[in-house]
A = this chain, B = another copy of it.
């Protein structure tokens, strides 16, 4: 089980034992690896480096700047949890805004709540294009006429648009293009873009590897909204498998409607239980200035 791993070039004489792996480096010293059948596409877009792989165990895999975004096998967990928690917190969400989420997964789940409009604001049209091409089950939301795609900057969009019931911030991590989505000014603009009983949810990383990211998002958003909670989901293909989201509103955070659609991970009990945090996260957030 111990392997000495060295990068080297293709050598014809050893192809009999060749295996192609994509490993996401969670840190310099920890990695999660997927054996891949083939690299379907590799694009360097205006904003980032994008790969689509066909894996043996996880179906198609979308990777941006070396980090796993979604796999066909477990995408439902992330998308259900980022969408249904805020959507069910709102009594009747009609206008929904998704910042990021170019793969279409969050929009697909939001549509289960019968909204009138779902606006997706994705900065990188290559993400949309590749998702439509390789991830049909995730991107099928784009076939629905209620889904309006805007290619552009989410930060700018929330400054210039308003009247939303729910805003879902489904971005990459707070390094690179998504950095501004974790700042106080953005949260202020989010609030202005929301209607009175509006609800916002945002993914905020692995609290095992980066408790500071989840706690910082929690603290910043708490300056703007009256009620704020972190919640968690098991996501096998994300670093540590423990993933955090933050939900915020000026109205109490509670499940206001029954779930009347099918899910594979989320259920009404999970709405509650996902908000229960392990001691180490509570301690970390309490002690952080």
A residues with CB within 8 A of B: 1-8, 10, 14, 17-25, 27-36, 39, 51, 55-58, 63, 66, 74, 77, 208, 232, 234-236, 240-242, 263-267, 269-270, 272-274, 276, 278-280, 282-283
Contact = CB atoms under 8 A, between A and B. Distances in A.
A271 to B, nearest CB: 9
B18 A4 contact: yes
Contacts of A17: 6-7
A44 to B, nearest CB: 13
Q: Binding site of A, secondary structure by majority: helix, strand, loop or mixed?
A: mixed
A278 B32 contact: no
A2 B22 contact: yes
Contact of A278 (B22, B25, B234): B234
Contacts of A242: 234, 236, 241
A69 to B, nearest CB: 13
| Number of copies of chain A assembled together | 2
Nearest to A57: B29
Nearest to A3: B7
Given A7-B17, A278-B234, A1 B30 contact: no
Contacts of A24: 1
B35 A20 contact: no
Contacts of A264: 278-280, 283
23 contacts: A1-B23, A1-B25, A2-B39, A3-B7, A7-B17, A29-B34, A29-B56, A30-B33, A30-B34, A30-B35, A31-B33, A33-B33, A74-B208, A77-B278, A234-B241, A234-B278, A236-B240, A264-B278, A265-B279, A267-B276, A267-B282, A270-B276, A273-B273
